Amino acid sequence: MPFKIVIVGTGIAGLGAAIALANKGHKVTVVEATSQLQPIGGIILMQANANRVLDSLGVYESLLPICAAKPFGPSTRRYKDGAFLINRTAEIHEKDYGYPLWPFHRADLQQALYVAAKKRGVTFRLGCLVVALDEDDHTSAVVVKSGDRMEADVIVGADGIKSTVRKSIDPNSSCVRDSAMDITRILIPEATVKSDPETSIFMAEISMWVGPSTTLAVMPVRRGDEWFLGLDCCHIRDETSEDGVSRKQNMEQFKGYFKDFDPVIQKLLAYVNEAYVWRLIETMPASWVSKSGRVVLIGDAAHAALPWTGQGGGMALEDAVTLAECLERAEISNLPEALKAFQEIREPRCKLVQEWAAIKGKRATIPDGPEQEQRDKNLKLFNAWVKAKPWDRFHVDELPELETFEFETPDWMSGHNAVDFAHRELDNRFGARH
């Protein structure tokens, strides 16, 4: 049955959920604290599992004009000399998993999703800061700063790492884990990058450079009508960053973190006079669902992960379509069961992505020495493994044990079909649909 749904937040999770739920016929209102859309962060990578979701939502084709045209990679390179540790092409990803690997600027992706949601009749209330949730045995509502109270059958907390909705479900501060690392995000205009032949190659490459306590991801992205080279630079925590917000980076201090990187990276960073830094945080509340069973968390509010799997946006979009499938099986009387099923379906996968991202980050940032040398040998072996063992096309319903991972296990991530998996899981719980 159609529900009245209020979504808090206009990030990828919130907008994806708005589209998925509107597609199912629900009456959806999205509440956002800022007076206009404000994307958090810069570059974002959409792997095949995410693009499969975008296709199921009916927005995939509209994104074609704003994605980079099959850049080389993703590759992994050593920080000192740029030597390739993993060297592959984007075509392999698309051939194996059926959808391409796309880099975007978050603002353009967010705008495209916003337009798609508006076309589907979603109502947006911008400039409405949610200050509290009001729940009892019969009603649920969000209360905004103006004092307005918005009732709903279901409230979706898609309000990110600093989620107000999460605090109403799990006020325990221990559900937020600080990595003690920061990420500095940079955009360099295409013309600047192409002004030097040595740096111009980066406009056709997705790569991650790995070094002691640092990584640097590089990819071309479109922002509006212009192209840029996006850099996501992870490094140790410093006094510049602040909890929950971005801050202008101390550029002299920041560049010092990467002073031992290959000269071509030094050239890139020499182009940069300004950047912004964020703290890298994970979220892991014990419950994603309120005691009433009518409020649910999705995206970073529920399971923010570190960036080293490139799956934050993918997990948010998978949440969106899975939630829509769960609510399609629900009536008012069994909403708690439907939202419980949503967490049970999504949480194991999201936790595994979190754990794998943390492990990949630790491996990428180990200091030079015997452990690093062994890591590099193993990564180089992966190049042969990719060619020898392509995905067998069987969906990985049973998640692998973390202890069995070697260095790359993309099949269960990039090969995932969130909608089909949700159908199978819901059939097991509630019986097959008629």
List pLDDT tens digits, range 31-50.
999 988 876 668 898 999 99
φ, ψ dihedrals at 380, nearest 5°: -65, -35
231-245, 331-345, 416-430: which has the minimum mean pLDDT?
Answer: 231-245
Report pLDDT for 202: 94
Average pLDDT over residues 179-188: 95
Entry pTM: 0.95
Q: How far apart, in whole angstroms, are the C-alpha atoms of residue 142 and residue 325? A: 24
Average pLDDT over residues 18-26: 98
Helix (H, G, I), strand (E, B) or coil at 118: helix
Average pLDDT over residues 219-234: 92
Token digits of residue 165: 């909705």
Q: How far apart, in whole angstroms, are the C-alpha atoms of residue 427 and residue 434? A: 11
Closest CA to 396 of 410, 384, 408, 383: 410
Token digits of residue 68: 């980079």
pLDDT-derived band of residue 401, with 50, 70 and 90 as boundaries? Answer: confident
pLDDT-derived band of residue 144, with 50, 70 and 90 as boundaries? Answer: very high
Report pLDDT for 288: 97
Report pLDDT for 1: 80
Residue 2: cis peptide before it, omega within 30 degrees of 0? no
Per the model's pLDDT, the better-predicted residue between 224 and 312 turns out to be 312
pLDDT-derived band of residue 397, with 50, 70 and 90 as boundaries? Answer: confident
Span 337-347, pLDDT tens digits: 999 999 999 99
Q: How far apart, in whole angstroms, are the C-alpha atoms of residue 298 and residue 15? A: 11
79-83, 164-168, 174-178, 378-382: which has the minimum mean pLDDT?
Answer: 378-382
DSSP string of 399-419? PPPGGG--S---HHHHT--HH
Report pLDDT for 278: 94
Strands 84-86 and 72-78: antiparallel
